[in-house]
């Protein structure tokens, strides 16, 4: 495992390309006895203030898959985004294999056996082997159920609007339509009125409601205990309770706990899943609260051989993680910024769609990096983006002094200026903004103007 065997005594800050203010990307190559390993590393500030961490669903629904770059592009008008793939997933349905929490609301559950990653309201990382105990009650007792899962895994499943537009198409089922249905928050009793009891599957899920689906031996029970006009109680109990966790995705295994790498987590993974060198992703947090997204490339001999799970744990230690967890592996292991790939997909067909993702969003002013060097006489497009109504000042400073490119109140959008380089030397684009919530942000982009390029 070469340089991946022993972590550095003291982890150095990640240094590299600035993607957006405070967010750094580094592509690193380790040469090991097994071949080269390419690691893509992103380090972000603790996600507070202008920064937030969010769990994303493919196409905005539990069922189905979508490319990470497309998920990010869908947020581009509201934020600048860097992210990593989330959980393993069901290849047929595209559903996450484990838990999903968005804004403190459960979108999917887990039967346990693997670690999940959660961030609390203070942006602290939690890595725990989580399980969900779902149950429903009509006029009888509480009985077990699943949450937003493919058909057949449970005799009764609750489908909320997070699943999608309609329940799965099935035969021999009975569905209780619940509306309105409260947000599916864990560790409490949720109650909802029954507006209809229908049959046949593929039932529309009310935007403000849910559908309780019974199969097999529970069809008669639901029919008798959940009449139209009645009421249903739902419990979604997490263990551990994770009462303050706001955003979460599944994954596993735990890689680093309290500053120590974990070799054998005893989670429900096969030996081949843990010890095969493949493309892998992980999320971690440093002692000062910075978030680390890491993806190891693989699948291309001579370029990158990938990592085992424990080798990834050692790499996370080296980058400064005091707690870290693995995420999905193989073709789905992806890292991207603002809708563009940072990692190199192991699938030669290109980027593979995934079920969910973890992203850090930034709502301050952002300026794309200009070309590192601009020839005298050439025209360069300089730009900045604001995602809220903001008061902006954009200046360009160089050997000849400072010029104001733009100033005033700006609506959300991207503003571009075509600037012709006239004087050789170092130049800096600086943009300062105060948004309509009174939040200040700034960004600087430095580039060099060189001699006039040759022709011929």
- Residue 1 in this model has a pLDDT that exceeds 70: no
pLDDT at 300: 82
pLDDT digits (tens, 9 = 90+) for 232-279: 999 999 999 999 999 999 999 999 999 999 999 999 999 999 999 999
- Residue 292 in this model has a pLDDT that exceeds 50: yes
Mark whether 137 and 218 lie in a shared domain.
Answer: yes
pLDDT digits (tens, 9 = 90+) for 212-226: 999 999 999 999 999
In-domain check, residue 368 = no
As for how many domains the chain has, the answer is 3
In-domain check, residue 455 = no
Mark whether 262 and 314 lie in a shared domain.
Answer: yes
pLDDT category of residue 301 using cuts at 50, 70 and 90: confident
CATH of residue 409's domain is 2.60.40.10
Mark whether 117 and 51 lie in a shared domain.
Answer: yes
pLDDT at 452: 60
Beta-sheet strands, E only, within 204-332: 210-214, 231-239, 245-250, 254-257, 260-261, 280-286, 291-296, 321-329
Cβ proximity of 337 and 47 under 8 Å:
no
Mark whether 358 and 271 lie in a shared domain.
Answer: yes
- Residue 68 in this model has a pLDDT that exceeds 80: yes
The residue range of the domain holding 425 is: 373-450
Share of the chain above pLDDT 90, in %: 91
pLDDT at 288: 95
pLDDT at 454: 47
- From CA 286, how far away is CA 43, in angstroms rounded? 9
Mark whether 115 and 159 lie in a shared domain.
Answer: no
Query: What torsion, rounded to 10 degrees, do the Cα atoms 347, 352, 357, 360 define?
Result: 70
Mean pLDDT across the stretch 183-201? 97
pLDDT at 44: 98
In-domain check, residue 456 = no
Mark whether 122 and 7 lie in a shared domain.
Answer: yes
Question: How far is the first Cα of the chain from the last one, in angstroms, to the nearest whole number?
Answer: 49
Domain boundary among 224, 239, 254: 239
Q: What's the pTM value of the predicted model, to 2 decimals?
A: 0.94
* Mean pLDDT for the chain overall: 94
- From CA 410, how far away is CA 396, in angstroms rounded? 18
Domain boundary among 362, 392, 418: 362
In-domain check, residue 175 = yes
Instruction: Return the structure tokens found at 225.
Output: 């205990």
Domain boundary among 334, 362, 390: 362
Mark whether 11 and 114 lie in a shared domain.
Answer: yes
pLDDT at 337: 98
Mark whether 71 and 160 lie in a shared domain.
Answer: no
pLDDT digits (tens, 9 = 90+) for 84-103: 999 999 999 999 999 999 99
């Amino acid at each position: 495992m070469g340089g991946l065997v022993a972590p550095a005594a003291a982890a150095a800050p990640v240094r590299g390309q600035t993607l957006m203010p405070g967010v750094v990307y580094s592509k690193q190559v380790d040469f090991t006895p097994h071949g080269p390993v390419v690691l893509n590393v992103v380090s972000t500030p603790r996600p507070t203030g202008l920064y937030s961490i969010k769990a994303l669903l493919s196409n905005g629904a539990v069922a189905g898959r979508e490319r990470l770059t497309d998920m990010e592009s869908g947020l581009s008008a509201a934020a600048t985004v860097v992210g990593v793939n989330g959980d393993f997933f069901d290849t047929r349905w595209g559903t996450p294999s484990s838990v999903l929490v968005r804004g403190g609301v459960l979108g999917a559950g887990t039967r346990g056996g693997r670690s999940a990653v959660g961030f609390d309201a203070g942006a602290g990382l939690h890595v725990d082997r989580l399980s969900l105990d779902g149950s429903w009650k009509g006029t009888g007792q509480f009985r077990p159920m699943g949450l937003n899962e493919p058909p057949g895994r449970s005799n009764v499943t609750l489908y909320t609007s997070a699943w999608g537009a309609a329940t799965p198409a099935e035969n021999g089922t009975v569905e209780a339509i619940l509306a309105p249905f409260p947000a599916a928050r864990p560790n409490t009793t949720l109650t909802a009125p029954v507006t209809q009891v229908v049959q046949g599957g593929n039932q529309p899920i009310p935007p403000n409601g849910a559908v309780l689906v019974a199969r097999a031996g529970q069809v008669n029970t639901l029919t008798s205990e959940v009449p139209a006009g009645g009421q249903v109680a739902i419990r979604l109990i997490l263990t551990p309770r994770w009462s303050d966790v706001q955003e979460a995705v599944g994954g596993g295994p735990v890689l680093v706990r309290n500053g120590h790498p974990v070799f054998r987590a005893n989670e429900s993974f096969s030996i081949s899943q843990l010890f095969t060198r493949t493309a892998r992703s992980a999320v971690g947090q440093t002692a000062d609260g910075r978030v680390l997204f890491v993806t190891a490339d693989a699948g291309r001999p001579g370029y990158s051989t990938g990592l085992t799970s424990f080798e990834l744990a050692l790499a996370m230690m080296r980058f400064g993680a005091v707690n870290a967890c693995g995420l999905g592996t193989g073709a789905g292991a992806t890292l991207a910024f603002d809708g563009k790939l940072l990692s190199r997909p192991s699938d030669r067909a290109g980027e593979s769609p995934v079920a969910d993702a973890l992203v850090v969003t930034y709502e301050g002013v952002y300026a794309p990096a200009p070309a590192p060097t601009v020839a005298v006489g050439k025209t360069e497009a300089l730009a900045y983006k604001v995602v809220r109504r903001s008061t902006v000042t954009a200046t360009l400073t160089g050997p000849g002094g400072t010029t104001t490119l733009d100033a005033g109140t700006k609506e959300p959008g991207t503003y571009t200026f075509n600037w012709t380089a006239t004087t050789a030397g170092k130049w800096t684009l600086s943009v300062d903004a105060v948004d309509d919530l009174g939040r200040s942000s700034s960004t600087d982009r430095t580039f060099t103007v060189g001699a006039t390029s040759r022709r011929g």
